[in-house]
Structure 1
C-alpha cells in the first residue's frame, strides 16, 4: 500500500471512530442548555447504568444556578448566573421565608418586576436547609434527594411532582430578565425523574 493510500485509510478510520464517539456522547447527554429524552438512553443495556445516566442528565438542571441559588450551601441565597451572594444581605430564617426583619415577600412579589430585575412568585422562598446542594456533584445530590431526612421528607413520587409540577420550580425555566433558563423544559425534567425512579433510582458514580 502506498503512503498516500495508507494515509487515506487511517484518516477514514479516525473519522469513523470520531463519529462513533460523537454518537455515544449524544446518547449519554444532550447539548448544553437542553435535556435528552429518556428514550435517548435506550442503548444502555444495564438498567442500573441507564438509571444513573438519567440522573446525570437531570443533574444539568439540579446543578444550574436557577436551582442552586435557591438551594444554597449556607443560609444566604445566591443571585444571577454568577451565583453572587444575595444583595441586600438576606437569610433563610426558620421557615425559609427570610428573617422577621426582612421577609422575602418585601421585595419578591407574585411575579417578576422587570424594571428592577427582581424575580417573583407567590411562594418565593428558599429550599429547606436539609435540601442544600450548592457545590455538590450529581452523585451527592442523588443520594441526598433519595433520603427523606435530607429532602424535606419527600418520597420519590413526591419528587416527581415537586420537580415536574411545582410552579415555583417551574420559574427556573422562565426566569425572565437576563437570567439563563434551566436546561430543557420542566416536563422534560419530569420525564427524566420518572424514568430514573422506574429504573431503580440509581445514582451516578
Structure 2
C-alpha cells in the first residue's frame, strides 16, 4: 500500500510540474506590478477597452470619426482600421499626429475584449491567465505574445508625439517571465 501511495504522490507531483521556490514566488509577486503598469499604459489600454470605441492619445479620448471595434475587432464594415492605420508608422514628414501603424492593427475581438481599464490588479491578473478571455493562450503563449507580437511591440515605438510605454520592453518581458516562472500569482491571492 505504501508503494502505491508513493507512486501516486510522484505522479501527482510530476503532473503539477516544477514548483516555484519561495524566492521565485516573491519575485513573481513583485513582477506583477511591472506587468500591471505596462498594461495600464495608454499605448495598451487605448485598445483594450470595455466598450466598442477605441481610445486615442494619452488622455484616452474616444477615437475620432466614430471608429468602432466591428465584428472581428478590425473596424466596422466600410471603415476597417487598415483604412488609416498602415503596417508601420508613417515617416515623420507626415506630421506628429498622422495615424500610427503596425502589422494587423486592430482591437481584440468582441468575444475576447481583454478590457482592463480601471480593472483591479487581481482581476487583471486573472484575466491574463484565463484562456477563455485572453485569446486561448497559456502563459507560454502569452509570454510570446507580449515579447514578439509586432502590434504589441509598437507600444515601445509609437511614432509621432506619442509617448512609448514607460517600462523598457526588455524589463517588461523579464518581469512577465519572472511572474510566469514564479507560478503567476495574483495580487492578494
Which of the five TM-score ranges fits, normalised by the shorter chain?
Answer: 0.7 to 0.9
Structure 1 position 178, deviation (Å): 1.5
Match of 1:120 in 2: 101
Hey, what's the Cα distance between the residues in 2 that align with 1:128 and 1:141? 18
Hey, what's the Cα distance between the residues in 1 that align with 2:174 and 2:54? 28
2:135 to 141, 152, 157: 152
1:110 to 2:74 alignment:
no
Hey, what's the Cα distance between the residues in 2 that align with 1:134 and 1:63? 7
Structure 1 unaligned residues grouped into runs of 5+? 1-44
When residues 188 and 46 of structure 1 are mapped into structure 2, their CA distance, relative to the original with a 3 A threshold, is closer
Hey, what's the Cα distance between the residues in 1 that align with 2:23 and 2:144? 27
Look at both structures and tell me which one has the larger radius of gyration over its CA atoms. Answer: 1
Whether the 8 Å CA contact 1:73–1:135 is kept in 2: the answer is no
SS in 1 for 2:119: coil
Structure 1 position 106, deviation (Å): 0.6
> Runs in 1 of length 4+ with deviation above 4 angstroms?
none
Structure 2 unaligned residues grouped into runs of 5+? 1-21
Match of 1:50 in 2: 27
Alignment TM-score, normalising by the size of structure 2:
0.80
Aligned length: 162
1:183 to 2:163 alignment:
no
Whether the 8 Å CA contact 1:63–1:138 is kept in 2: the answer is no
Structure 1 position 94, deviation (Å): 1.3
Match of 1:138 in 2: 121
1:166 to 2:149 alignment:
yes
Q: Which has the higher contact order (CA 8 A, sep 6+)?
A: 2
Over aligned residue pairs, what C-alpha RMSD do you find?
1.7
Question: What's the CA shift string for 1:120-168, capped at 9, x where partnerless?
Answer: 1131001233211122122211110101011111110001111111111
Match of 1:94 in 2: 71
Hey, what's the Cα distance between the residues in 1 that align with 2:28 and 2:121? 13
